[in-house]
Amino acid sequence: MSKTKAILFALLAAVFYAINVPLSKLLLRSVAPTAMAAFLYLGAGLGIGIMSLINKSGRESSERISKSDLPYVIGMIVLDIAAPILLMLGISRGSSANASLLGNFEIVATTVIALAVFKEAVSKRLWLAIALITLSSLLLSFEGADSFKFSYGSLFVLLAAVCWGFENNCTRMISSKSTYEIVILKGIFSGLGSLGIAFIIGEAMPGAAHIAMALLLGFVAYGLSIFLYVRAQSALGAARTSAYYAAAPFVGAFLSFIMLNERLSWLYLAALAVMIAGSLIVAADTLARKHAHPHRHTLTHTHDGTTHTHTVTHTHEHDHYLTDKKHGHRHTSAELSRCSEAIHP
């Protein structure tokens, strides 16, 4: 996949996911948080499963998940059970716009984990962006201008972002495999896991209409979003894909104000400014192109008259009177063609 196409996929994944928070906030009036998380993921798995049946050629052309991938698959599913439940709890207890922007903390979690666990390179610019996004997340974690009481809704959203940071890196390790298979596994098993928890804790099941709406939202906001994200991740890497995905919180916050009439506080506006600065730095770092290009070197060196003698690996012709003596001279090796990697800001 070309880099341009991968970037487009990452941005579309962000837009599809952005509708999740405000619409989930509306549905949470009638659907309990854990059940909501379950139906969102089940909608993703079922929807992408139908897509895979329609597009058999695309499904069969990809490498299937193998036994060696099992640890990453299990990690991905477990984290995908925890993350959406935490997010729904956060949305139900706090502002939808705050929850949307706090989703950007996933960049921090994904990047730090990619560096610490999976050894992806992190630039100085990305560290600055991480600092700004973290600062913005702290500002958004307090309840408002009149009270600096910590918001438990924000805490749940931040915990969800950390879970998804780990999950992104687990998915990165299998992103070259069948995207259909990855999303179906995510959706069905994570959804069933959440549904099991909902039954265990005694949550009431919603009516058929609300289940259908949650499944449809899950297909678009989770299924299509994950599908495009995984495709982008296979070409861009976990840290850089999450950078483009940073557009999602801003779209989500904008939709929250339009759909839910949430008012703006000075603390929110300050956090928004800091978050935008961090996201712009992330975008600038992402656009730093990494590429390989061929180039040639001509190696020239001089041997002095005391150290150089002929060996099997270093031979050349001389006048007959020098061949048995130590001597000095300058000569040029054959040109060497190499392919090296350069990073351009």
**How many angstroms separate the Cα of 15 from the Cα of each of 12, 19, 163, 208, 220?**
5, 7, 21, 27, 10
Q: What pLDDT is recorded for position 147?
A: 43
Within the chain, how many helices (H) and strands (E) appear?
15, 6
Closest Cα partner for 198 from 79, 84, 48, 73? 84
| Alpha-carbon torsion (200, 70, 111, 191), positive or negative | negative
Q: What pLDDT is recorded for position 60?
A: 53
Mean pLDDT split into 10-residue runs, the chain, 345 residues: 84 90 92 95 94 72 80 93 92 84 82 77 80 83 56 87 89 82 90 95 94 96 86 77 76 84 78 85 66 42 46 40 48 40 30
Residues 6+ apart with CB under 8 A from 111: 120, 122, 126, 130, 165, 239, 242
Give the SS3 label for residue 341: strand
Within its chain, how far is the Cα of 203 from the centroid?
Answer: 32
**Encoded tokens for 262:** 């949430």
Q: What pLDDT is recorded for position 62?
A: 63
| Residue owning tokens 């597009």 | 55
Give CA–CA dist 112/232, Å, rounded.
Answer: 19
Q: What pLDDT is recorded for position 59?
A: 54
| Residue owning tokens 């150290």 | 307
Q: What pLDDT is recorded for position 200?
A: 94
Residue type, 37: A
Q: pTM for the complete prediction?
A: 0.70
Q: What pLDDT is recorded for position 131?
A: 86
Q: What pLDDT is recorded for position 282?
A: 74
Strands 329-332 and 147-150 turn out to be unpaired
Give CA–CA dist 64/323, Å, rounded.
Answer: 63
Q: What pLDDT is recorded for position 41?
A: 94
